[in-house]
Structure 1
């Protein structure tokens, strides 16, 4: 491959896949310089004509990832007429998958990019939930899609992580009688705040199990019913002051509570 060799990359999306495959192939040849010219978002035959008009004067090949049948066939026919090799990367794989699965591909450009974007949104939401868990940084309240508030052991953290996997950015804030709630709770729209509460007897059982797991006495005030009732009364006063939605999680699985929150978000146009 000499310095005049050009690889044209044509795609009905961004063309990154075609370029990476071309580079992988080029790396197998120790033969000098090359140039890659990428032409993304090919959606019209006239665009193909313009590229081929340029390419016919060069020593080149064409590598393409076009999934729209009409454009793919047009490119192959016109490239052949001009004596230019055009390598179709997608069709052999898609044809084999079609034979294996028994149904037609979507033939929609850019699907992998959409999937990647969804994945990165999920990662971002998970990182957000970790960063703003348990009131570690109250600045997250104003950035969050949803803010969970409640006393200890009302499933704030598990809910935050579950919702994060649904691409929802969640901050959670513990409510403790001895610690004033952060000002930010009263500065954001109450529609995006969800209060979590539970039956004191149920919380008593959960906290006792938690203390045992930590190797501590289950007689600590943390697990006493009187202490729990005091905390619940305090949290109830804060939730009423905010005017937020309140969910009793006593007999609900995390998935069930999350489903309620997601429905609430849809109803309030937060999704």
Structure 2
């Protein structure tokens, strides 16, 4: 069986080119036997192109390439013609078609799709992190978080955590209750990463009453009483002062507005 020698040339990591090459080879050799794949990645100079084509000439290789810059593709074609090499442009024809269809010039910036993928997975990771470390579920997450939110119940810690997660921040939040000691990890983190959320007793009283009604309970429970709320807020202020963290009043703020304040604080620090 004849040996197939393939050079995958890319201005990024060459993953796309290799996947296409393997998909095609598998139609002839399902186990990819008697086939050599060699990736040449992050190719960004004409000298690289010349060296690769010279090596391909020596080894009798076929070149498959994903180069987004026109000058690089043209140089590769010229050298392949010079050395009588077989080559396949895997992305150029598509870029040319889209340029004609959209009447726009391509960015010709290598690795853009990789950046999009990385951004997407970072977002998913942050969302999963926010769910895992929501409501003080596992205090170990505090040491790994980009942002830590603290506050009494019903100060929008969870929706704010999810909103920030969609902005690629890993967020953990901790509810503060007078009867429960805060986790020790809360006092080990950088105070600049911690943000306290506070709300006026009157507003919190209204929110908690509505919450109790929504779950079918009487709205005069201790949870919604002003005396209890004041006690919780005093406890919150004591903990926030001990940590030395920034405190944001969320009384009349939408989640988006609070999130912007949190992000600005984190970026400044």
Relative to the length of structure 1, the TM-score reads 0.92
Q: Does the Cα contact within 8 Å between 2:73 and 2:92 map onto a contact in 1?
A: no
1:16 lines up with 2:22 in the alignment: no
Residue of structure 1 equivalent to 2:195: 194
1:125 lines up with 2:107 in the alignment: no
Q: Does the Cα contact within 8 Å between 1:204 and 1:224 map onto a contact in 2?
A: yes
Distance 1:250 1:44 in 2: 57
Q: Does the Cα contact within 8 Å between 1:15 and 1:65 map onto a contact in 2?
A: yes
Superposed CA RMSD in Å reads: 1.7
Residue of structure 1 equivalent to 2:6: 7
From the superposition, tell whether residues 223 and 14 of structure 1 become closer, same or farther in structure 2 (CA, over 3 Å): same
Deviation at 1:145, TM superposition (A): 1.3
1:81-160 pair list within 5 angstroms: 81-160=82-161
Q: Does the Cα contact within 8 Å between 1:5 and 1:58 map onto a contact in 2?
A: no
Residue of structure 2 equivalent to 1:242: 243
Choose 183-192 or 125-134, whichever is displaced more: 183-192
Give per-residue Cα distances to partners, 1:49-99, cap 9 Å, x unaligned. Answer: 222223224454211001122221110011022222211111111112222
1:2-81 pair list within 5 angstroms: 2-30=1-29, 33-81=34-82
Residue of structure 2 equivalent to 1:161: 162
Deviation at 1:187, TM superposition (A): 2.2
Distance 1:159 1:258 in 2: 7
Distance 2:16 2:85 in 1: 21
Distance 2:225 2:53 in 1: 79
Q: Does the Cα contact within 8 Å between 1:4 and 1:59 map onto a contact in 2?
A: no
Give per-residue Cα distances to partners, 1:81-129, cap 9 Å, x unaligned. Answer: 2222211111111112222332211111111122222222212211211
Distance 2:210 2:103 in 1: 52
1:225 lines up with 2:230 in the alignment: no
Distance 2:93 2:209 in 1: 61
Distance 1:212 1:101 in 2: 55
Choose 240-249 or 25-34, whichever is displaced more: 25-34
Relative to the length of structure 2, the TM-score reads 0.93
Distance 1:29 1:4 in 2: 12
- Count of aligned pairs: 267
Is the partner of 1:119 in helix, strand or coil? Answer: helix
